[in-house]
Structures are given as structure tokens and as C-alpha cells.
A and B are shown apart, each in its own frame.
Chain A
Amino acid sequence: MTSRGGEDRSKRSAGIVPYGLLSPGILWLLLFFLVPLVTLGRTSLSVKASRFDPNDIRLTWELSNYTNAIGDYSEQFLRSFAYAGIATVACILIGYPIAYVIAFRGGRYRNVLLGLVVIPFFTSFLIRTLAWVNVLSDKGPVVSAIEYLQFSGLLESLGIMSDGRLLSTHTAVVGGLTYNFLPFMILPIYVSLEKIDLGLADAAKDLYNNGWQAFRKVVLPLSLPGLFAGSLLTFIPASGDFVNAKFLGGPRNTMIGSVIQDRFLVQGDLPTAAALSFMLMIIMTIGTLIYARMLGTDDLI
């Protein structure tokens, strides 16, 4: 609060200057973000006017685009949110300990360790995903190891493998999503952990005489903003992704992104694609607001 006041006092009111600085960026965002969303909304309520030209559409307030889309693709919607949700939880379980160790045990190697988190993501997103195809392929190292250890029966009954394969399973898609969005979880958590005074963490340990209690009562609450930002930065892109489903999944693991992509770019069915896109955005926005309320954080970034 106090810093806010200090910041405000140092700000000046200078008539039109701030608007001048803002206008090019605002113009860009209005023209290429908000206007397209309006067009998307219009398209989602239109019908194709011509069977031959997919780009010729007419606004008829066609609400059936939405009811049809929900009827036809609710399965893909639910699957996307389930995959993205599991991947987000997995990212927290893997990412939080990594961020914690870097922040509290990293010492002078903190920046090197952070660099190591980021370096794998200097390769292209698609190439990383293709590399997982190598790793998980039928004759690849993981499947061979599982066969050698004779775990395949167990993993099949758990639903992790299917027909002796890891590729084209839920596991592979969720695993790919988890891997690809992991740094978006680690970095925000690290940033919020880094701000915690080490003395405070020590005092908590003395107070509770138990590392776990100290973590739960002091460190974890202070890292909630990072956890919040990380979950959003993981869940949102994961739920709209179709690359992992395409490379690592099979026809039974398609996500809502796969459907939108197929409807839009392959079938040229813009109204249905627009209705699906629009619903995805609405669900995300409402979900984000509820989540922000729940965790009590207003700052997104």
C-alpha cells in the first residue's frame, strides 16, 4: 500500500503525453486483438452462404452453431480440460520442488540453475515434442525397459499403457503437455519464492520446530501468487494445444484445439470453428476470474 502511494506520487499528470505514448500499442491491440474477437463472435453466429466458397458467410444469429458444437464436441472439450488439468497438477508436483531447491539451496549457482531450466526450451516446441515421440516409440528405450521389467501388464491395468504402447495414449499426450509447459510453472514459482526472506523461513522453522509445518504455514502461502500465475500460464496454453495430441496421441486423444484446427483450416467450416473458439475463450475467462477469487490474488503477472 505504502509503496503504491509513493509510486503514485512520483507519477506526473502531463495531459496528452501518456496517451501519445500509449496510442500505437493500444491501436495495435484494438485492431488485431479486440476487433478480431468481435469478428469471431459474428462468424460464430453466421452460416456459410456458399457451398463452394468457405469464406462467404452471412450473419443470421445462428445459435444452432453453438448447440451443435456442444453436442458434437463436448467430449473433446472435457478431454482438453482434463488433460490440461492433470498436466497442470503434474507441473506443480515436478516444478515446485525444482523452484524450491533453486531458490533456497541454489546459493551462488541460482542463476546457472535457472539457465538450465530455460535452455531446453531454446529448441523448437515441435522438435521437443517429436523428441518425445523418439523416447516413447514402440521400440524406444522406455517401452523396452518396461517390457524388460515386465511392468506392461501392471501399467495397462492402470490405464497408463494400451496394447503394449505408450504412444497414442492419454499418458503420452498429458506427458508431452507437462513437459512443454513446465518452465512456465517453475519460473513464476521461483520468482515468488526468491522474494521470501530466508530469515523468515528460518524463524518459521524455529517456531514450528518442524520443517513441513513451517513450509505449510509460511513459505507456501507466500508463494501462492507464483503458483497462481504458473497454473494459468500452464493450463491456458495446454487446454488450447493440438500439437501434443497430434504427435503423441492417436485418433482417440484429440483435443478441442485439434477440432478447431481441423474445422477451420481443413474443412473450411468457419462458423463452427468460431463457435468452438469463442466458447473456449469464454470458459477460460470465467475460469480465470473464479480461480483468482479463490486464491485471492488480483495480480495476474
Chain B
Amino acid sequence: MSTGSQPPETALGRAGRWGLTAFAAAGFVYLFLPIAVIVVYSFNKPRGKFNIIWQEFTLDNWKSPFAPGPLTDAMVLSLKVAAISAVVATILGTLMALALVRYRFRGGVLIGLLLVLPITTPEIVMGSSLATLFISRGVQRGFVTILIAHVLFCTSFVALTVKARIRGFDWNLEDAAMDLGASPWRTFSRVTLPLITPGILAAGLLSFALSIDDFIITFFNSGSEETFPLRIFGASRTQISPQINVLSTVVLLGSITLMLVGVVFRRRTDGH
């Protein structure tokens, strides 16, 4: 359409370019809008039980973010569940990824399918089917059943993440170490483990994040236990206190710190 001989950029092209960047900037505003609301409302002094309408500024909510009570208990439970299920899922998933990447064996396609299915199954189906199993076997739902469910959905994510990360590594290094007289265990701890550690750490963090935020599957399999998301769901019917906003702001800051630590750590390991 343009008749000029290779113009550097048409006016329309430039407008499009700026328009696109402006659109993306607006997209970021959209992403952060509710986050801003959460942080701002942690300084609100609500009238009544629901922290929905802005009344007046106060620092009171921030005086004791971890005041003992159901909300703090729920947070502690969530952290416990997330830590344990991240560790278990990371071990199970990493072993599977190693087998899939390193070895030739029958049934690899089936196993790949078995790993993808939990990710493409709606959470409500996974949650309700697991609960049906527990009910039909007369298993009391509680802490252990929450863990079982969380390990289940985290394992697939770990296996696929680690698999993607360690594909294409130079495994001949292992042979070299063995040729030089290293024992299998020493080879694993000195050669294999350092190679796969960044992938494992990333997968572990992903598991932790998935577990701590899971609501639907936990809702079906928790019995009388209350994780943080469950507590918020329960509270949303009767009372939404500013402490919820304070705690989420704390979690947000904590996660950002962790992320920055991760970045620094990666810079350092890339450095040498």
C-alpha cells in the first residue's frame, strides 16, 4: 500500500507502535488496580463488618498484623501445607523428569499423558473426585487429605517444569566423572545435582505458590481444617476485616523480597 521506496517508518506505523506500547502500559495499570486497592484498604477504618467502602485513614490495622486469631492460624496452616507439599512434590516430580529425560523405556507417551491430565482437568473435577474417593473409603478429611491433594497437583507441574529445564544438558559430564574414578553417589552430588538444581528450585517455588493459593481443591478435601484461602472464603460471608488486607500486603512484600533474592542468587551463580 505504501508507495515510497522503503521508508524507515510510515506515520501509520509509528502511531501503531506508540498505540501498542500505550495499550501495554494500560494493561499494567489494570493488573495492579486491585493490588492497589488491597494495599490502600489495609489503611481503612471500616464502619461495620465489611471493609468495602472507604471511610478514613488509620494505622491501627498495621499495629499487629499477626495478631493471634483464626486468620493467623489459617496462615500458619497454609505455610505448613505449602512447605511440605512443595518438598514432596519436588522430589516425586524431579525423579519423574529425570527418568523421562535420561532414559529410554516403554510407556513414555502414556506417562507423559498421565502428567498432563491433572493440569488440563478443571480443579473442581479433581477436588470433587478426590473427595468422593475419601468419602467412599471412609477416610476422614483433614490435614493429610489436604497434603495428598496438594502434592498431586504440584507433582505434574514440577515434572513438566524440571523436564523442560534439563532437556538438552550434556550428560556426558557424568560419564567423564565416572571415568575419572568418582563413585556413582559422588558423581550425582558433584555433577548431576549442581546441573539440575536451578530447575528444581524454580519448580519447588512454583509448587509452593500453587499450594498456598489453592482454594477449590482444598475446599473439597479439607474437612474441618481451614487454610488461608478457606478462611477468607468463610469470612467473606460474615466479616471482611482489614487484617485480611494487612496480611495480604505482608505476603505480597514477602514474595517480592523472595523474588529479588532469587534474581540476585541467579546473577551470582551465572557469574562464575
Contact = CB atoms under 8 A, between A and B. Distances in A.
Nearest to A180: B34
15 contacts: A13-B103, A13-B104, A13-B105, A28-B152, A33-B117, A36-B129, A122-B255, A126-B229, A137-B52, A236-B120, A241-B216, A243-B215, A260-B124, A261-B124, A270-B135
Interface in A93-119: 94-95, 97-98, 100-102, 105, 111, 115-119
A105 B124 contact: no
Contact of A24 (B92, B128, B213): B92
B130 A32 contact: yes
B252 A261 contact: no
B196 interface: no
Given A21-B103, A288-B120, 5 more contacts: A26-B114, A36-B133, A128-B34, A128-B38, A284-B122
A233 B121 CA distance: 10
A40 B248 CA distance: 36
Contacts of A125: 213, 215, 229
A241 B215 CA distance: 10
Contact of A281 (B116, B121, B138, B167): B121
Interface of B: 1-2, 6, 13, 16-17, 20-21, 23-24, 27-28, 30-35, 37-38, 41, 52-53, 91-93, 95-96, 98-105, 111, 114-126, 128-133, 135-136, 138, 148-149, 151-152, 155-156, 159-160, 164, 167-168, 171-172, 209, 212-213, 215-216, 219-220, 228-229, 232-233, 236, 240, 244-245, 248, 251-252, 255-256, 259, 263
Contacts of A32: 130, 133, 148-149, 152
Interface string A135-152: 101011000000000000
B232 A124 contact: yes
Given A94-B27, A127-B232, A288-B120, A40 B129 contact: yes
Grouping DSSP codes into helix (H, G, I), strand (E, B) and loop, the A interface class, with mixed when no group exceeds half, is: helix
Interface string A220-249: 000000000000110011011111000100
A242 B124 contact: yes
A189 to B, nearest CB: 13
Nearest to A44: B132
Contacts of B31: 116-117, 120, 182
Interface in A1-40: 3, 7-8, 10-14, 17-19, 21-22, 24-26, 28-30, 32-37, 39-40
A33 B120 CA distance: 12
Given A132-B34, A137-B52, A98 B13 contact: no
A145 to B, nearest CB: 13
Contact of B20 (A101, A242, A247, A301): A101
Interface centre among B31, B95, B129, B233 (most CB of A within 10 A): B129
Interface stretch (A62-70, A153-161, A272-280): A272-280
A73 interface: no
Nearest to A258: B124
B34 A12 contact: no
Interface centre among B104, B151, B159 (most CB of A within 10 A): B104
A137 B53 contact: yes
Contacts of A105: 21
Contact of A277 (B53, B129, B168): B129
Given A43-B136, A179-B30, A126 B233 contact: yes
B2 A270 contact: no
Contacts of B13: 211
A11 B2 contact: no
A60 interface: no
B15 to A, nearest CB: 11
Contacts of B122: 236-237, 239-240, 257, 280-281, 284
B220 A264 contact: yes
Contacts of A39: 129, 132-133, 136
A261 B168 CA distance: 44
Contacts of A26: 96, 111, 114
B151 A28 contact: yes
A59 to B, nearest CB: 11
A97 B92 contact: no
A39 B128 CA distance: 10
Contacts of B23: 97, 101
Contacts of B33: 135
A240 B129 contact: no
Contacts of A206: 6
